[in-house]
Chain A
């Protein structure tokens, strides 16, 4: 790329950012004005404005990427996060490695979603909402563009041009870190579309089922990306940071969990509104809260208001987000409070022993968990306001509150699918619960007999057995019904069962992944670690939680230079029960820039030997003299199942999201448009529906 062409693109990008700002402002104004005055021409112009905004934000992003690849170090952002010797892939991902760029990235996704929401919202059913959706999306985009143009401009120039940039933090030079932020952003930002639809539904007072169809699709999309993003974040923390865990209840981690929790609650409660016309206020509240929590998360991350290891530099951008949060809260509060009558429920809870009740408790628990996480995260601020003293709470707080709540939730995961809508009969309960109940109790008893004594772990595995039983039974019954009715073989029956009831069986797949994760979390109760010092040839012996005997023999310390770093590495020869299993090595890296000057502090490369039973996790803490390695060796039981569970959940999410052909929409569709009586299907019809 020629230099002048590159600098042309950069300037074009910068200008495009300002045009996008004007476009978003135009689009927001005419969309709302057109809706209020019922003027089709204004509405149409607003929609086109949304597309144009996306175009210009895209142009601005191309400009920043060009600057990164052209190594234009006169731009502060480029000089701050990259160096000339940074690998290409990380030059690309540097886009979201810093404050200003990540805001632009956020804005790019938002503008893209805005355009997609308008494009897919043109249909007959959602037409009425469109002006408000376009308007709301534009307002949010406008906010981000204002922040970008006046608060943190990625095109800001330095008054001098360094020969080389400061380079990228080595901890961010990891494939997990390259895709974790985009996934999380795709999830965070996708909460905006349901929010826009909620605003539109409230504004137009069309609060029946019509607005729920697109909201559900977008919420699922958001849920999917958040799930993938959070799991990747855990994986990155585990393999890169070297403290031996994947979740520390850090405020920024909590910030990503909060919208996930309320989003999950919504995806369950929406079914009750579809089937029974209940929970209308609640659903609007969940949609709005999910969006506000996503913004709050951004605020926490960007403002530095709460002590977190993750924080971006403290910057005035935090204040912008606080103001935006306040305005959104007031606006939606006003909309909801003036529409309470339109949100009245169309049905009552008929029995405590019903699927509705199970779903309601599921929602209560998910929201309870989010509240406790929010409370614990904000507690330093709250206590400072109330008592004038900053008091912090750490993992013990989150664990003691959330483990019991989480286990209750796990139990409901097993109950919900088994119990009938409206009112379960004794026969229904007996028929459905025997097998899963036996599976759960058997699991618990077996583990107790094998010597497991940790209370929470035992409860968790008993419940996990119960939920696996539930899921297994659902698949078994559905497949069996198909095999009898259509004479299909097992594979065909199973495949069609899932393909024709994607929401239901995809949901079970998600549950399966979730339970796998819970089972893996409980494994942490049996973690073992040791700090050891090994000279070349010396051996450390240890017994893992499963009773295997291990030896770790130092093969010596080596030092060498790689592409952009100096490396000190130790290699351990590992045996299990006398059998050699391989070499495990851990490194300390000192990154350098193209002038061979050290950048950043030394970073650690963890050595991990993964297995189904446990990970063996080795961290090189330091080297004394030339060959004495100081190591921490940890047995982390079942960790690999956390990643596996995450993948399964994502796959389940994909199954649920996969577009269904038109034919099935008639069968499975949005029943809330019918009267509650017509929909009141007994459990039998549910089962038949599964087999049809």
Chain B
């Protein structure tokens, strides 16, 4: 390996020592905790040792993180990760964003949260520590291995954040744009680092969302591990019920954090990306939603089990599935398998195999503790090992995978058969647990539907098929199932609190439900009538969903106010459920009633077929005023600020009496110049209490690279005109009205042989404002003298430079500022009504969940 001057090696060595230490200590901690769980006499010693290893592991993870931050802070571009994700010009407020922009950094973030949660559990989980921390340490072993970046029999295993740039790409330092040769002591030395700048953080990610969204989401992912580890521990030590007590608050904590993380992603998409909404059923969005659905189901089934003792199997199933789905999501989004189907999938860094192994390992682990019989476990482990070897060493991927999955199904069957008997007791339909169970089933089905459709790329890879779903098709494919599922969930949320555990009196139930039922029925009927939803059978489901949302909100509120007497102690669930109802209500209203107002009135394209009339874009010339929905809009011009080209769009309303335009607000959507992802349009949104007006540029008149903000004038255009002729410029119309001899030739004092004529021009701009100008043509003797007339507001320069008396014409030339050229935009504007209901619901849901967790911790 060639060394170059200026490269720092110690941070890399240090970082790699931490990586290896983190990996080895996690493995050792897992082993010690494992032995502690198994051993009778030495349990305490092993546990202590395991704890020490986990502490060292925690410190190592912290060490990796600090080292990487240090390197980014000091712009050490000799390191690949630093060069790739940061640059000199990047403001340091984005240091967090650039830290977790890449795969390695986001794995570190995830590992960091596991370390935090693990350390809390070491302190709090008492006799559960050893079995729970075994799983934690195992997960950390896998995560740390992703950072090793070593080669095992030809496979690149993981991706190391401390890779030296010139080692990964030996030719890099000799590339012409970095090579800096200096003669030192008669020898040529390449100081390539001297002028090297990093590639920088993707401009699209340079906003505060990138600072807050990933940590929240990863804390959510990390917190699915806690109930999972407890569930595994419960199966392993055959304490099938006791594990739930410590795990339950964690489950709801995780539901809250993961839900918040997902919604932050939605808010980011809505605020800063030109998705045109907060949810697009994008595969990456889906893969964070899917574990949340089972997590919600699992947490609620835990409540059933705690209160009534049934549905034990289902509890294990959902909690374990949640973590497995987190791993599956990780596999989907980071292995590169999604390819072009998603706007924000990671690129393939050779993580496909490790991630798959990671996923399959934990499926296997769950099944082993589930069956918990030595004989079968040995057979299964044997099969799994064979499949692993067949897949990795001999290339029998599909065969190995198929055999493993077959064996896993077998294990699942065995485990279910031998699962400690649940009381075979049919639940009454008049009990809360029955309907909670149904709710969890619906969530599971909903999760299955999303997973299945999102997994098309995986199915294609496995079976050689070529299924695909288009962007618009996807929304239909998901909504047709998810809307009815949401409807059932909402109805269940509305009624289930009014059911008591075990047995409910039907009369009492009807009496309590009827008021909110009829109020929400009346409200939703009225609203649906006003929205014209009854006229289309497709929209009928909106009407049903609207009713269900209102019913859920009102009955949870009334449960809180009426039955709980407005006390906050037990109100967590009611408030959280009402919040969730509001959230879905907001989603329903804003999506179903959203209105693309930027229709193209001028050009009829409907003859192309109704499927294709994608009339969502409007063309605006500069200073041209067009009607758009209830507004009139004018494109006022553009300016450049850093990497942003900002377009000023004024929204106005027309006074019906005077016909004058009154300015309402101005939006500045912009185009971000992004050499990494291509230029990206970012929207601007005006928020009102009851609606949002959302605007983004779909096409800039001039390509951003060719725009000129210098104020220079372009090529002159020449026209021969006779009186009454019109000359068109980019943003005005000039009418030539005729010549006028000028007697005042004061500028030419003393010259009797001078003649001057003016050309009377009337200039109309797109505001309707009229300017009269008169460029002058002078003859001094026989030589013409031309002066230019400048109209600053229009960026226009006019010269009258020749008279053609025979044709009764004159010659006029004009030139315009270059920035005027093609100065138009094509933009899209959407009105989202009631989107604030969605955000309010989100906040109320979080408050409710916090109350519920607090209450549960107080009772514990």
A, B bound: no
